A and B are shown apart, each in its own frame.
Chain A
Amino acid sequence: MKKPLSISRRTLLKATGAAALGIIPAGTLLVRAAGKPHPKALQAKNWAMVINAKLCPPGCRICQEACHKVHNVPNMPDPKQDVKWIWPESYNSAFPYETHPYTDQANEKRAYPVLCNHCENPSCVRVCPTKATFQRPDGVVMMDYHRCIGCRFCMAACPYGARSFNFKDPRPHIPQLNPAYPTRTPGVVEKCNFCDERLAVGQMPACMEACPAKAILFGDLNDPASPVRQALASNVTLQRKTKLGTRPKVFYIV
C-alpha cells in the first residue's frame, strides 16, 4: 500500500529510457528496479535549500533553464496556462505585503528564484484526495503523476503558486526531450521534486549545479554541519509566508 504500483512503473519507464541511452549501467538498473537504493544515493533526514538572492543577477534564468530541460517541463504558448518548476520573481512578488515603496533598488531588480517549498507542514499533501502528492520521510514533497486525478485542490491549497496543471498536452511544447525523465499527460498537476531522481543516483539538484554564481545551497536541515545549516546560522534569512504555518524549507538570504 505504501509503495504504489505507479511508482515502480515510473521507475521502470525512466530506467528503460536511461538504459537505452546507456546513461545508467545495466547493473544499477536492476538494483533500482528491485527497489534497493543506488550505492551513491544521497540521503538526508530533511532536505532543504538556501538561496542567496544577493548573488542572483537581474534577468538570470540559468537555474530555470537547467531544471526545465532535465525535467521535460514544457514551454506552453499561453502564459496563463504555463507549467513552471522554478522561475524568477521580483522581491515584491516573492514576498508580497512584506515590502514598501522605498526599498533598495538593486534588490527590487534581483531575480528571486521561486519553487516548491517542500513545506514541513504541506497543505497540498493534506488536501489531496488520492495521496497522489505525498511527503517522503526525507522531507521531499512528491507527486505521483499516475495517480493524480487532476482535481487541482492542491493548487488552491498551495500558498506559493508553486504548482502547475497540464491544461493541454505538454509533449509538443518540450523544446528538447530528455529521455531519462518521464513526460506528463494532460490533466495532471506537477511541480518541483527537489530532484529526487538525481539525489537517488548521487547527484545534487540541477538548479544548484547549473548556477554559475553558486547562489543555491542544498543539504540536510537536521544536520548542523550541512552547508544549509551553516548558511542559516551566519546570515539573515527569510522564508515565504511563514505566518501560514506551512514551515517552508526554501530559505532566502536577502
Chain B
Amino acid sequence: MLEHAWNETGPRFKAWLAALLLLIGIGGFCYSIQLGTGLGVTGMSRDVSWGLYIGQFTFFVGVAASAVMVVLPYYLHDVKVFGRITVVGEFLAVTAVIMCILFILVDLGMPSRLLNIMLYPSPGSVLFWDMVVLNGYFFLNLLTGWKVLEAEYTGIKAPDWVKPLIYIAIPWAFSIHTVTAFIYSGIPGRDFWLTALTAPKFLASAFATGPALLILISLALRRFTGFDAGQEAVRRLSIIVTYAMSITVFMILAEFFTAFYSQVPSHMYALKYFFVGLYGGNSFVLISWIFATLCLLALILLLNPKTRGDETWLTVACASTFIALAIEKGISFTVGGFITNPFGRVTEYWPTAVEVGIVVGIWALGAFLLSLFYSLFVTVKRRSERGIA
C-alpha cells in the first residue's frame, strides 16, 4: 500500500516534507554540537538537572496515551463515529512514542550506553519500567494501526489476533502515563512532584491535549486532503476535551489550595516561582501567565456550547488547550520540582539555542512521520471509498 501513498501526493506535500527535513537537519546539527561538548551546551545545571528534554518527553507520553480517547469509545462503547479516526489516533501514538524515545536519547549524558538499561535490568527503577511500557505501547499501536489500515486497503478482514491487541492497548495507554508520572512523584525531597495527584493530573491533561490535537489534525486533514472525519466525531472529541480540561484545571487549583492553605513553604515555593517569582528568580513568570490565560480562554470557549459547536472558536479552544498544556507539562512541571534546590536556593533555568534547536528537530521529525502516515491513511481511505482495492 506504500507505493500508492507516495505516488498520489502532490508537489505541495513534497515541499512541506522538504521544509520539515530542513528543520530535522538543523536539529541534527545542534545535536552534533551537544555530542561534541556534552550537555554543558544546555541551560541545565547541577541544581536544575532536568529541563526541556525531559519536559517534552513527559508531554509527548501524554500525547501518545491520549490515542486511547478514540480507541476506547469505539471498541468498548461502540461509538461508531470514531471508527474513521481510530487509526489517526494510533498513528499519532506511534509518532509520539518515537519522539519520546528521542527526547530521552538527547537527554542522556552517555547515549552510547542506552542499552545498559536492558543489559542491567533494574526493576526497582521507574525509568526501567517506563522503557518497558513505552516499547510495548509502541509495538501495540504500530501493529494494530497498520493491520486495521491494511484490512481496509485489501478489503479483507483484519486477522483475529488484532482485536485482543487493541483491547490490551487500552489499559496499556493508562500505564505509560502513570509510570511516567511515577518518575516524578516517587522522589523524596522534591515537594512539588511528591504528590499522589501527579499521575491522575497527567492523565487528565493528556486526555485534553490529545483529543484537542486530534480535532486540529482532523480539521487540517479535511482542509488539505479532503478526508472528513465527520462533524459528529469532532463534536464528540470536543466534549472529551471539555471534560478533561475542566478536570485538569480543577486538579491544578486543588494543588494551589493545598500549598497555600497549609502554608507549608516547600509546597508553595514552585507555585510562587511560576507566578510571581521567588528569591529573584522569575524566568517562568511570563510563560506561567500565558499558561493561565490560555487555560481560562480554552475553558470559556469549551464550556459554552455555542462556541464549542463553532468550528473557528473550537479551533482557538483546542489550540489554547494544546499550547497551555505544552507549557505546563512540556517544561514548567519538570523545572518546578527543582525549586528550590536542596539548600533552599533558587537556580534559574532557561533552554539554550542548541537545546531549542534539538527540540524543534524532534518536533519536525514527528510532523514528518505523521505526514507520511496520514498521507498513506488518506490514500487508503480514498481508494477504499472509491471501491479500488
Interface residues, chain A, with chain B CB atoms under 8 Å away: 4, 78, 80-84, 89, 92-94, 96-97, 123, 126-132, 147-153, 155-161, 163-169, 185-189, 241, 244-246
- From the candidates B37, B107, B120, B343, name the one contacting A147 in the complex (CB within 8 A): B120
B44-52, B247-255, B300-308, B368-376 - the one binding chain A: B44-52
Complex Cα spacing A164 to B49, Å: 9
B125 touches A97 (CB 8 A): no
Residues from chain A with a CB closer than 8 A to the CB of B126 are 127
A97 touches B116 (CB 8 A): no
B40 touches A78 (CB 8 A): yes
With A81-B40, A168-B40, A245-B188 as contacts: A150 and B110 at CB distance below 8 Å: yes
B114 touches A149 (CB 8 A): yes
- From the candidates A158, A187, A241, name the one contacting B109 in the complex (CB within 8 A): A187
Q: Is B360 an interface residue (CB 8 A)?
A: no
Residue of A nearest to B265 (CB): A97
- From the candidates B49, B188, B345, name the one contacting A155 in the complex (CB within 8 A): B49
Interface residues, chain B, with chain A CB atoms under 8 Å away: 37-40, 42, 44-47, 49-50, 104, 107-111, 113-114, 116-117, 119-120, 122, 124-128, 131, 183, 186-190, 265-266, 337-338, 340-345, 347
Residues from chain B with a CB closer than 8 A to the CB of A81 are 40, 44-46
B188 touches A130 (CB 8 A): no
Residues from chain B with a CB closer than 8 A to the CB of A159 are 188-190, 342
A129 touches B127 (CB 8 A): yes
B40 touches A149 (CB 8 A): no
A168 touches B110 (CB 8 A): no
Residues from chain A with a CB closer than 8 A to the CB of B108 are 149-151, 187
List 10 A-B pairs, minimum CB-CB distance, nearest first.
A150-B109, A159-B189, A187-B109, A96-B344, A161-B342, A168-B40, A167-B40, A186-B38, A80-B45, A93-B343
Chosen A-B contacts, 17 in total, with CB atoms closer than 8 Å, are: A81-B40, A82-B46, A96-B344, A126-B125, A132-B116, A150-B110, A151-B109, A151-B127, A153-B125, A155-B46, A159-B342, A161-B341, A167-B44, A169-B38, A186-B37, A186-B40, A187-B108
With A97-B265, A150-B110 as contacts: A165 and B188 at CB distance below 8 Å: no
Residues from chain A with a CB closer than 8 A to the CB of B46 are 80-84, 155, 161, 163-165
Complex Cα spacing A150 to B345, Å: 24
Complex Cα spacing A106 to B368, Å: 63
The listed residue with most A CB atoms (<10 A of its CB), out of B44, B265, B340, is: B44
A152 touches B125 (CB 8 A): no
A147 touches B113 (CB 8 A): yes
A123 touches B39 (CB 8 A): no
How distant is A93 from chain B, measured CB to nearest CB, in Å? 4
- From the candidates A147, A164, A187, A246, name the one contacting B116 in the complex (CB within 8 A): A147
With A94-B343, A129-B131 as contacts: A149 and B110 at CB distance below 8 Å: yes
B120 touches A165 (CB 8 A): no
With A93-B343, A148-B110, A165-B109 as contacts: A187 and B188 at CB distance below 8 Å: no
B49 touches A244 (CB 8 A): no
How distant is B268 from chain A, measured CB to nearest CB, in Å? 12
With A80-B46, A186-B38 as contacts: A152 and B187 at CB distance below 8 Å: no
Residues from chain B with a CB closer than 8 A to the CB of A150 are 39, 108-110, 113
How distant is B24 from chain A, measured CB to nearest CB, in Å? 24
Residues from chain A with a CB closer than 8 A to the CB of B113 are 130, 147-150
A158 touches B125 (CB 8 A): no
With A153-B183, A156-B49, A165-B46 as contacts: A130 and B120 at CB distance below 8 Å: yes
Residues from chain B with a CB closer than 8 A to the CB of A168 are 37-38, 40
With A78-B40, A97-B266, A129-B125 as contacts: A157 and B187 at CB distance below 8 Å: yes
How distant is B129 from chain A, measured CB to nearest CB, in Å? 9
With A81-B40, A153-B127 as contacts: A158 and B342 at CB distance below 8 Å: yes
Residues from chain B with a CB closer than 8 A to the CB of A80 are 45-47, 347
Residues from chain B with a CB closer than 8 A to the CB of A131 are 120, 122
Residue of A nearest to B194 (CB): A244
Residue of B nearest to A154 (CB): B49
Complex Cα spacing A167 to B47, Å: 12
A130 touches B117 (CB 8 A): yes
A93 touches B116 (CB 8 A): no
- From the candidates A96, A163, A165, name the one contacting B343 in the complex (CB within 8 A): A96
With A96-B343, A150-B108, A165-B46 as contacts: A123 and B122 at CB distance below 8 Å: no
Residues from chain B with a CB closer than 8 A to the CB of A244 are 188-189
Residues from chain B with a CB closer than 8 A to the CB of A89 are 343
How distant is A110 from chain B, measured CB to nearest CB, in Å? 15
How distant is B279 from chain A, measured CB to nearest CB, in Å? 12
Given contacts A160-B189, A161-B343, A187-B109, 16 further A-B contacts (CB under 8 A): A80-B347, A126-B125, A127-B125, A129-B117, A129-B122, A130-B120, A150-B109, A151-B107, A156-B187, A156-B338, A158-B342, A164-B46, A167-B40, A167-B42, A168-B38, A187-B38
Residues from chain B with a CB closer than 8 A to the CB of A169 are 37-38
Residues from chain A with a CB closer than 8 A to the CB of B114 are 149
A156 touches B38 (CB 8 A): no
Complex Cα spacing A152 to B347, Å: 17
Residue of B nearest to A169 (CB): B38
Residue of A nearest to B348 (CB): A80
- From the candidates B265, B338, B340, B344, name the one contacting A92 in the complex (CB within 8 A): B344
Complex Cα spacing A12 to B128, Å: 30
Complex Cα spacing A153 to B266, Å: 21
